[in-house]
């Protein structure tokens, strides 16, 4: 067991040396880091994670706080930096904005956008969403500038093809997102330098499928269209896992 003195020494060394520089992504890609989106948490990735683990991948799930884009990128980088080798970084929905910044980490070999935002430099997620609005109108303010989906409308708008009981629980377990995030501009889109893959959820009501298509085209992403709701990672986990595994194979 690591002694307290050893642990303290390690922490002190990290503090003295500043931010660690990750090793570049080299060698076979067997690590996958999954980033959830707004109004969700990492547990929604379980069906995809189970398949990836069964197929021999090491999976880590980020539980970003949704308090600010900087906080969410930092939370993602902490997970990436723990990996033993190169990483496929996957983001759903607003998680796409997060991986667009966090994907600049040297360990990241490729990016996978799952019904996700893929902003360009200077773009803000809110303005991007407003440029081609989705069908849903169920997002509203709660306290302290945070946003939430109306729980009664959540199943139809977010998870229409998920079993009803599961969709209702997802509605109850939403993570509120700080509205300031949607007004925060991207500074350095990782998709400009990293291979990218995009999944269009063709029945998405939260993000317009045409917006997904246009963002992925701009990013030069390899696109897969899946018939599914915004929660396509829950309803179609095998199809989503297949795209992630393709990204891992292509990066080797």
Map out the domains of the chain as residue ranges.
27-250
| pLDDT for residue 25 is more than 60 | no
| 28: confidence class by pLDDT, cuts 50, 70, 90 | confident
Taking domain 27-250, whether its CATH number is 3.40.50.1820 is answered by yes
- pLDDT for 139 equals 98
Q: Specify whether the CB–CB gap between 158 and 95 falls below 8 A.
A: no
Model pTM score: 0.90
What is residue 6's predicted lDDT score, i.e. its pLDDT?
35
Across residues 128-144, what is the average pLDDT?
97
**C-beta separation of 136 from 206 below 8 A:** yes
The model's pLDDT over 79-96, given as tens digits with 9 standing for 90+, comes to: 999 999 999 999 999 999
For 82, phi then psi, to 5°, come to -85, -10
Cβ atoms of 22 and 106 within 8 Å: the answer is: yes
List CB contacts of 37: < 8 A, sequence separation 6 or more. 91, 92, 93, 94, 95, 96, 116
| Mean pLDDT along residues 113-118 | 98
Which DSSP string do the residues of 156-203 spell out, in sequence order?
HHH-TTS-HHHHHHHHHT---EEGGGGGPBPSS-GGGTS-EEEEEETT
pLDDT of residue 11: 31
Give the span between the Cα atoms of 22 and 44, in whole angstroms: 28
């Amino acid at each position: 067991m690591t002694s307290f003195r050893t642990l303290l020494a390690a922490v002190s060394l990290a503090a003295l040396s500043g931010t660690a520089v990750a090793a570049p992504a080299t060698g076979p890609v067997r690590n996958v880091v999954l980033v959830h989106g707004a109004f969700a948490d990492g547990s929604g990735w379980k069906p995809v994670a189970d398949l990836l683990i069964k197929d021999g991948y090491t999976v880590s799930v980020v539980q970003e706080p949704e308090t600010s884009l900087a906080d969410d990128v930092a939370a993602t980088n902490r997970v990436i930096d723990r990996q033993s080798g190169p990483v496929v970084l996957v983001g759903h929905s607003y998680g796409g904005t997060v991986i667009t910044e966090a994907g600049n980490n040297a360990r990241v070999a490729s990016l996978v956008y799952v019904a996700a935002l893929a902003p360009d430099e200077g773009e803000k997620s809110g303005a991007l969403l407003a440029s081609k609005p989705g069908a849903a109108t169920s997002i509203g303010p709660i306290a302290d500038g945070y946003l939430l989906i109306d729980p009664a409308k959540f199943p139809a708008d977010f998870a229409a093809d998920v079993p009803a009981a599961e969709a209702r629980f997802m509605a109850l377990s939403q993570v509120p997102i700080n509205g300031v995030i949607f007004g925060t501009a991207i500074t350095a889109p990782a998709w400009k330098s990293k291979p990218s893959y995009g999944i269009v959820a063709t029945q998405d009501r939260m993000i317009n499928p045409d917006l997904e298509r246009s963002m992925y085209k701009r990013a030069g992403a390899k696109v897969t269209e899946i018939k599914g709701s915004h929660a396509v990672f829950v309803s179609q986990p095998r199809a989503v896992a297949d795209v992630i595994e393709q990204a891992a194979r292509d990066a080797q």
